[in-house]
Amino acid sequence: MSVGFIGAGQLAHALVKGFTAAGVIATHKIMASSPDTELPTVSGLRKMGVNFTTSNKETANRSDVLFLAVKPHIIPFVLDEIGPDIQDRHLIVSCAAGVTISSIEKKLVQYRPAPRVMRCMTNTPVVVREGATVYAVGTHAEAEDGRLLEQLMASVGFCTEVEEDLIDAVTGLSGSGPAYAFTALDALADGGVKMGLPRRLAVRLGAQALLGAAKMLLDSEQHPGQLKDNVCSPGGATIHALHFLESGGFRSLLINAVEASCIRTRELQSLADQESISPAAIKKTTLDKVLQQPGVAAAGGPKAAVSLFNKSNPGRKRN
Amino acid sequence: MEPSEVKIGFIGAGNMAFGITKGILLSGGVLPRNVTVSAPSSNNLGRFQELGAAVTHSNTEAVAASRLIFLAVKPHLVPAILREVAPHVTREHVVVSVAAGVTIATLEELLPPESVVLRLMPNLPCMVQEGALLFSRGSRAGPGEGALLKTLLGPCGLVEEGPESWIDAHTGLSGSGVAFVYLFAEALADGGVKMGMPSALAQRIAAQTVLGAGRLLRDSGRHPAQLRSDVCTPGGTTIYGLHALELGGLRAAVMGAVEAATERARELGRK
């Protein structure tokens, strides 16, 4: 079985690193493509022994399982590009946040009657085989396709099937989750440094504390509230600290974060569905390079600009 | 000492005394005629008489007629009353003070040496036998007296023993805590009114909601966080409402309330 990645960025790199560490697939059976060869992850992939190309079509032709690991707004272009090359054997797995199975199937049925499509949402800790992945199966995907994907993704962490309508929420929680954790860890380390610890030690201890707590929770039948109680001796240090967290609205901040990420994911999805992209949203020349590939048609020019200040930011000027 | 034989006296005839009396008599373990209540005015004595207790205006008479004496007067009255009754307090007596902020040390100082003293912090729902009571033993009170008190007060609600240092926290949590719950219930009802319900109905529903939730919490033996999670259907009404509560910092406010009330209890105890 050959695995291909359309896109050679952070996600492709993390998945390849995880898969190879897990030993589920040999790197010479993996191909990745990207028009941008300057990405630092490209050299990382090459060093791991992955076959690299600038041609998405070549990757499609040389793979059985094809991961779409590009930004959501690039997906429509990629699908138009590789559509003609999709065969019955192909299993298309989209990892793009907010991009629906139906939007992908709609594109691909122009080229093939029953494209086997699945959608997954994973996260970066797949790189250390502690990923959190969910997937949903498309109209023409078979049961064994789901099993295959689950086997692959389970080798790099937790993986389970879900109904597609939950995937945006998963993005908000575990897709973005590592970023929340990194932010928390940075701040915890600052706290340690403020109270006299050397930075490296503070970072190490903070990370271990979160890792240990997470492990305890996963191994326990108990509610996190109960586990919290177990740490808080009466009148002790921890309960004093927790009061500060509560006063700062710690819990509501986290709820807000998950909600904001989920809502933004849905917004991105409707942008992709409309195929409306503003030059502002595409930071590099990726689009130009994609358009340079033979057989790719541009979708009717850039439409109305995406407002950088959306309605969830009251008090900011609208462009 | 069998509960049924104990002669019990109350100095003070307020709500706390009444609630405890009701509870003590409810179990049937104590005979009404073995209960003597004293208060300076007759205003409050009627309801004790209805229960079959003996009433008097003489504190010393209540002490003489009893073995176990509840001191259930306002804290500022305690020194005068103890000075009045001290000559009649013997080593056979067990004095249980319900006065907020009056320490065991103060009580023992004002009573004859070797007096058996306990300090009890009940709360208002003792009146309906759903109180939360915490007691602490003085230097001469043994486990036997503790056990007797626990048995006697059992019908009043939840009875626990602890070191005196916990009594101020208990005051903050449960003594004042009752008022915090009333505030929460009022706010629940206001929310109902805002969303279109008549206020009388909203208040009755709010009260029943608090009561029902309280019973489930007490009787299920499960952690409140677990019960909360169980009510929250994914994407449902409850989780949306809870988010608003968290945004409002309710948890921190409640912790702060218990802290403030406890600190004040400590302050009052030092005076």
Residue with tokens 């409140």, as numbered in its chain: B224
Domains in chain B: boundaries:
8-163, 175-270
A302 annotated to bind ligand: no
Same domain, A199 and A253: yes
The domain that holds A82 is classified in CATH as 3.40.50.720
The B residues from 208 to 247 touching A (CB cutoff 8 Å) are 223-226, 228-229, 243, 246-247
CB B133 within 8 A of CB B156: yes
Same domain, A52 and A191: no
Same domain, A185 and A150: no
Instruction: Determine the pLDDT at residue A271.
Output: 72
Pick from A226, A247, A255: CB nearest B252 = A247
Domain count, chain A: 2
Residue A288 lies in a domain: no
Same domain, A112 and A190: no
Same domain, A28 and A97: yes
Give the long-range contacts of residues A40-43, CB within 8 A, separation 24 or more: A41/A8, A41/A9, A41/A10, A41/A12, A41/A13, A42/A8
pLDDT digits (tens, 9 = 90+) for A72-110: 889 989 999 999 999 999 999 999 988 999 999 999 999
At A78, list the tokens.
């990629």
Instruction: Determine the pLDDT at residue A12.
Output: 95
User: Within a 10 A sphere around the Cβ of B153, how many other Cβ atoms?
Assistant: 22
Instruction: Determine the pLDDT at residue A67.
Output: 97
Give the long-range contacts of residues B242-249, CB within 8 A, separation 24 or more: B243/A252, B243/A255, B243/A259, B246/A249, B246/A251, B246/A252, B246/A255, B247/A249, B247/A252, B247/A256, B249/A246, B249/A247, B249/A249, B249/A252
Instruction: Determine the pLDDT at residue A286.
Output: 53
Same domain, A13 and A160: yes
pLDDT digits (tens, 9 = 90+) for A31-58: 999 998 998 999 999 999 999 999 999 9
Residues listed for chain B: 271
Chain B residues with CB under 8 Å of A252 CB are 243, 246-247, 249
In the predicted model, what is the mean pLDDT of residues B261-265? 92
Same domain, A117 and A64: yes
Same domain, A53 and A191: no
CB contact under 8 A, A249 and B243: no
One-letter amino acid identity for A203?
V
Residue with tokens 């208990």, as numbered in its chain: B170
Chain centroid to Cα A79, Å, comes to: 19
Of A57, A18, A17, which Cα lies nearest the Cα of A34? A57
pLDDT digits (tens, 9 = 90+) for A143-189: 999 999 999 999 999 999 999 999 999 999 999 999 999 999 999 99
CB A116 within 8 A of CB A101: no
Instruction: Determine the pLDDT at residue B2.
Output: 65
Fold match flag (B8-163 vs B175-270)? no
Residue A143 lies in a domain: yes
Q: Which domain holds residue A206?
A: 176-257
In the predicted model, what is the mean pLDDT of residues A289-309? 46
Chain A residues with CB under 8 Å of B243 CB are 252, 255, 259
pLDDT digits (tens, 9 = 90+) for A200-259: 999 999 999 999 999 999 999 999 999 999 999 999 999 999 999 999 999 999 999 999
Rounded to the nearest integer, the mean pLDDT of chain B is 93
| Sign of the torsion angle spanned by Cα atoms B176, B180, B181, B186 | positive
Q: Judging by beta carbons within 10 Å of its beta carbon (0-12, 13-18, 19+), is residue A257 exposed, middle or buried?
A: middle
In angstroms, what is the C-alpha Rg of chain A? 22
Residue that is last in its domain, among A167, A193, A216? A167
Chain A residues with CB under 8 Å of B255 CB are 243, 246
Of B245, B55, B267, which Cα lies nearest the Cα of B168? B267
Residue that is last in its domain, among A257, A274, A290? A257
Rounded to the nearest integer, the mean pLDDT of chain A is 87
The domain that holds A187 is classified in CATH as 1.10.3730.10
Number of separate helices (H) and strands (E) present in chain B: 12, 8
Instruction: Determine the pLDDT at residue B86.
Output: 95
pLDDT digits (tens, 9 = 90+) for B8-32: 999 999 988 999 999 888 877 789 9
One-letter amino acid identity for A119?
R
Chain B residues with CB under 8 Å of A249 CB are 246-247, 249, 252
- Bridge partners of B97, per DSSP, are B71, B119
Tell me the longest C-alpha to C-alpha distance in chain B: 68
Same domain, A7 and A99: yes
CA distance B251 to chain A (A): 6
Of B139, B148, B101, B138, which Cα lies nearest the Cα of B121? B101
Same domain, A182 and A139: no
pLDDT digits (tens, 9 = 90+) for B155-194: 999 999 999 999 999 999 999 999 999 999 999 999 999 9
Residue A27 above 50 pLDDT? yes
Of A148, A153, A81, which Cα lies nearest the Cα of A116? A148
CB contact under 8 A, B223 and A243: no
A61 annotated to bind ligand: no
Instruction: Determine the pLDDT at residue A314.
Output: 41
Contact pairs from chain A to chain B, CB under 8 Å: 41
Of B62, B67, B64, which Cα lies nearest the Cα of B48? B62
Pick from B223, B246, B252: CB nearest A223 = B223
Same domain, A13 and A161: yes
pLDDT digits (tens, 9 = 90+) for B178-237: 999 999 999 999 999 999 999 999 999 999 999 999 999 999 999 999 999 999 999 999
Nearest chain B residue to A242 by CA: give it: B252
CA angle B228, B233, B235 (to 5 degrees): 120
Backbone angles phi, psi at B158, to 5 degrees: -90, 125
For domain B8-163, is the CATH number 3.40.50.720? yes
Instruction: Determine the pLDDT at residue A72.
Output: 87
CATH homologous superfamily of B175-270 equals ProC C-terminal domain-like (1.10.3730.10)
Same domain, A57 and A135: yes
Instruction: Determine the pLDDT at residue B29.
Output: 77
In the predicted model, what is the mean pLDDT of residues B118-137? 94
